């Protein structure tokens, strides 16, 4: 008995303490209970390790992720010393002037440019042409142009292609849909055909920089269509695609590379390619590259290309930063401008509608969409991504077959949507401004701005998705009362494109103070300038004392004498008269009598003045 009691004491001492909340009447846990207990004790089990320095992703009011505030990951290329590189000479000039163009006099050339609506500046620019035969291109390239259903050169092509064929640098500013892509592709292929083929390991002969993936893919597809004629290899390098596949293709060699600035810099740093053989450089939509923050990258790429290259810069808008880049990157360029800068395409009929509320915009879209789809494809622009998804969903509920395109989609999905829309397999696309620039889809007949754009340049590029290459198109912009601050820009855009401005839209624009001031200033021919000189304003008359009236009356003859001539006849004399009148009005001559004597003299001359009845202070 004593042994049993001693054994029980030992078992009590060695027994494990029981945890609270766990049953002790079971011999062992089943798998499910064991799993739940383990997860309770280890809440982070199975999760990926996250560094403490990783910032949390925040979202804005529209549900879009807000990128962390940090610098651009893509660093520009380091500077390069071209003097230590032995560049091989190359030929630039392939232009043979057609006899009909050579016979044109200076007055005929000026008249032809006026008819085309282009302005040209630069040192000895060539004459514009009227047909593709005047380019004197190779027969096989000319046949490819005809097969591509080009009828006649567009105005920007008529002037820029001869300049590029001569080997000149070109700065082309033209409205959207004017054929800028073909304007640099045809001279590019002529330039490449005169050089030795690219060997494996060598860099390209021509480099085309584009701001977005969609525009780069579009230029790539257009270049391939004409490059088949010369058996020229074309590659496209852009963010979102397979970097390894792009690097392998670049190592094999290609004559033409179409790329976005960030991705081509990555490949150069990785050793996949180099720019030593580049003799033809194209910057397309350079203003958009600067808006996206690629200015240092673009400049570094330009500095890595040999200094005696040929450079072409094309864009639909022109800003001071672009002008500065043109001065640095281009050598004695020919500047070609078609229409006003930032002007909308006149081949597009713009319709601006003022609706009472956002719900009325949806009702208008449902009611009008069947009629618009019967004329061709329709592109609906929505500013915010969530709103674009909602509009596309509502259209599908109304049994409209539509596609959706915005920036949060994967690159493969975006390419699939664009190709489906280009092949006209679906005639309706709802998109954000990711589709506003550069996309060339000829069968788009109608553009609908369901929401207003973020700025007037984006609005111009939206409208430019229709009316391509001289084909007429329609653009509808839906407004509400809350859009009054932006309507003024749309009114100016309509007037510049010679479009009719509805009265209710003009009344809404006049509710904005900035537009109202600029409008009245324009109509009154700048009322703040003129009169008696630069910047002189006629002051409102106030009650004057006797002394001030005598001084003013003495200044009137000088004013009247100057206003009789007017500032337009003699600006200097008008300014002098204005300052003289101000001097005589406001200046009072000093007296030589000291102040105490002057005060005593005034008291002697005016004894009739009664002393002041004011109560004396304790200091008097």
- What pLDDT score does 66 carry? 64
Token pair recorded at residue 493: 């855009």
Q: Show Cβ contacts of residue 140 under 8 Å, excluding neighbours closer than 6 positions.
A: 229, 230
* DSSP 8-state code for residue 150: -
Whether residue 366 has pLDDT greater than 50: yes
Give the count of beta carbons closer than 10 Å to the beta carbon of residue 232. Answer: 21
Nearest to 507 by CA among 526, 478, 487, 522: 487
Neighbours of 97 (CB within 10 A): 16
b/e string for 382-393 if b means 16 or more Cβ within 10 A?
A: bbbbebbbebbe
Torsion of CA 185, 470, 173, 261, to 10 degrees: -50
pLDDT digits (tens, 9 = 90+) for 10-22: 665 555 555 544 5
Buried b (16+ CB within 10 A) or exposed e, 464-502: bbbbbeeeebbbbbbbbeebbebbbbbbbbbebbebebe
Q: Estimate to the nearest angstrom the gap between the alpha carbon of 344 and the chain centroid.
A: 14
Report the pLDDT averaged over residues 94-110. 89
Q: E strands of 450-597, at which residues? A: 473-479
Angle between helices 139-147 and 180-193 (to 10 degrees): 150
Check residues 533 and 488 and name the one with the higher pLDDT: 488
pLDDT, position 592: 54
DSSP assignment of 359-385: HHHHHHHHHHHHHHHHHSEEEEE-SSH
User: Model confidence over 599-617: pLDDT tens digits?
Assistant: 555 555 544 444 545 555 5
Q: What is the pTM of this model?
A: 0.58
Q: Cα(597)–Cα(369) distance, rounded to whole angstroms?
A: 93
Nearest Cα neighbor of 296 from 70, 69, 72 is 72
The pLDDT value recorded for residue 291 is 76
Which are the contacts of 614, defined by CB distance < 8 A and separation ≥ 6? none
Q: Which two tokens stand for residue 299?
A: 């400049």
Query: Can you give the pLDDT at residue 568?
Result: 44
Give every CB contact of residue 404 below 8 A, 6+ residues apart in sequence.
Answer: 388, 389, 392, 417, 429, 430, 431
Q: What is the mean pLDDT of residues 422-428?
A: 89
Selection from 51-55, 494-498, 527-531, 588-592 with the highest mean pLDDT: 494-498
Highest-confidence segment of 13-27, 416-430, 539-553? 416-430
d(CA 465, CA 462): 6
Reduced to 3 states (helix: H, G, I; strand: E, B; else coil), residue 404 is: strand
The C-alpha atoms of residue 135 and residue 137 are separated, in whole angstroms, by: 5
Q: Is the pLDDT of residue 154 over 70?
A: yes
- Domains of the chain with CATH codes: 82-338 (3.40.50.300), 348-523 (3.40.50.300)
- DSSP, res 462: H
3-state secondary structure of 444: strand
Q: For residue 80, give the nearest of 321, 268, 284 by alpha carbon.
A: 268
Residue 449: pLDDT band with limits 50, 70, 90: very high
What pLDDT, on the 0 to 100 scale, is given for residue 552?
43
Span 291-302, pLDDT tens digits: 777 888 899 999
Note whether 507 and 495 are within 8 A (CB): no
Both tokens of residue 430?
Answer: 């709802």
Do β-strands 428-431 and 377-381 pair in parallel, antiparallel, or remain unpaired? parallel
Phi-psi region of 285 (alpha: psi -120 to 50; beta: other; left: phi over 0): left
How much of the chain, in percent, has pLDDT values that exceed 90? 22
Distance separating alpha carbons of residues 458 and 162, to the nearest angstrom: 30
Mean pLDDT of 107-132: 89
447 sits in which H/E element: strand 444-449
pLDDT for residue 213? 86
Predicted local confidence at residue 608, as pLDDT: 47
E strands of 289-420, at which residues? 310-315, 334-338, 348-354, 377-381, 403-405
Total residue length of the chain = 620
């Amino acid at each position: 008995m004593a042994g049993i009691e001693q054994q029980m004491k030992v078992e009590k001492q060695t027994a494990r303490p029981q945890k609270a909340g766990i049953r002790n009447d079971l011999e062992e846990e089943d798998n499910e209970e064991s799993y739940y207990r383990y997860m309770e004790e280890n809440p982070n089990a199975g999760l990926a390790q996250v560094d403490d320095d990783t910032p949390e992703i925040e979202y804005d009011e529209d549900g879009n992720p807000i990128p962390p505030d940090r610098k651009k990951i893509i660093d520009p290329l380091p500077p390069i010393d071209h003097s230590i590189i032995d560049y091989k000479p190359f030929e630039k000039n392939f232009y043979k002037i057609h006899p009909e163009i050579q016979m044109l006099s200076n007055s005929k050339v000026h008249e032809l440019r006026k008819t085309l609506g282009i302005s040209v500046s630069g040192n000895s620019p060539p004459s514009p042409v009227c047909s593709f035969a005047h380019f004197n291109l190779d027969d096989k390239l000319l046949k490819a142009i005809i097969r591509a259903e080009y009828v006649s050169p567009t105005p920007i092509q008529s002037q820029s292609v001869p300049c590029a064929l001569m080997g000149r640098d070109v700065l082309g500013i033209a409205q959207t849909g004017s054929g800028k892509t073909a304007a640099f592709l045809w001279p590019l292929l002529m330039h490449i055909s005169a050089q030795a083929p690219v060997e494996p390991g060598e860099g390209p002969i021509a480099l085309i920089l584009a701001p977005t993936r969609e525009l780069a893919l579009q230029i790539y597809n257009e270049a391939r269509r004409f490059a088949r004629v010369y058996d020229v290899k074309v590659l496209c390098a852009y963010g979102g695609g397979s970097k390894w596949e792009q690097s392998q293709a670049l190592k094999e060699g290609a004559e033409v590379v179409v790329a976005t600035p960030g991705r081509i810099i990555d490949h150069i740093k990785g050793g996949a390619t180099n720019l030593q053989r580049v003799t033809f450089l194209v910057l397309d939509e350079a203003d958009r590259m600067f808006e996206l923050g690629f200015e240092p990258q673009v400049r570094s790429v330009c500095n890595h290309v040999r200094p005696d290259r040929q450079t072409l810069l094309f864009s639909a808008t022109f800003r001071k930063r672009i002008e500065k880049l043109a001065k640095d990157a281009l050598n004695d360029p020919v500047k070609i401008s078609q229409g006003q800068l930032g002007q909308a395409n006149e081949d597009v009929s713009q319709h601006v509608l003022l609706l009472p509320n956002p719900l009325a915009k949806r009702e208008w879209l449902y009611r009008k969409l069947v009629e618009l789809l019967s004329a061709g494809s329709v592109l609906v622009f929505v500013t915010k991504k969530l709103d674009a998804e909602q509009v596309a969903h509502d259209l599908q509920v109304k049994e409209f077959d539509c596609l959706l395109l915005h920036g949060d989609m994967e690159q493969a999905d975006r390419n699939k949507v664009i190709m489906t829309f280009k092949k006209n397999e679906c005639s309706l696309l709802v998109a954000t401004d990711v589709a506003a620039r550069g996309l060339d889809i000829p069968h788009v007949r109608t553009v609908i701005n369901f929401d207003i754009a973020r700025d007037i340049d984006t609005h111009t590029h939206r409208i430019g998705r229709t009316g391509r290459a001289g084909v007429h198109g329609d653009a509808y912009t839906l407004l509400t009362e809350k859009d009054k601050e932006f309507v003024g820009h749309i009114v100016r855009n309509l007037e510049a494109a010679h479009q009719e401005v509805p009265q209710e839209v003009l009344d809404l624009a006049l509710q904005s103070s900035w537009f109202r001031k600029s409008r009245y200033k324009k109509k009154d021919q700048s009322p703040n300038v003129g009169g008696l000189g630069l910047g002189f304003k006629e002051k409102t008359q106030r009650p004057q004392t006797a002394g001030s009236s005598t001084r003013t009356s003495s200044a009137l003859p000088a004013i009247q004498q100057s206003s009789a001539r007017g500032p337009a006849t003699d600006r200097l004399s008008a300014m002098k008269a204005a300052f003289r009148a101000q001097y005589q009005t406001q200046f009072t001559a000093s007296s030589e009598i000291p102040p105490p004597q002057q005060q005593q003299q005034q008291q002697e001359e005016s004894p009739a003045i009664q002393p002041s009845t004011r109560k004396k202070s304790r200091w008097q």
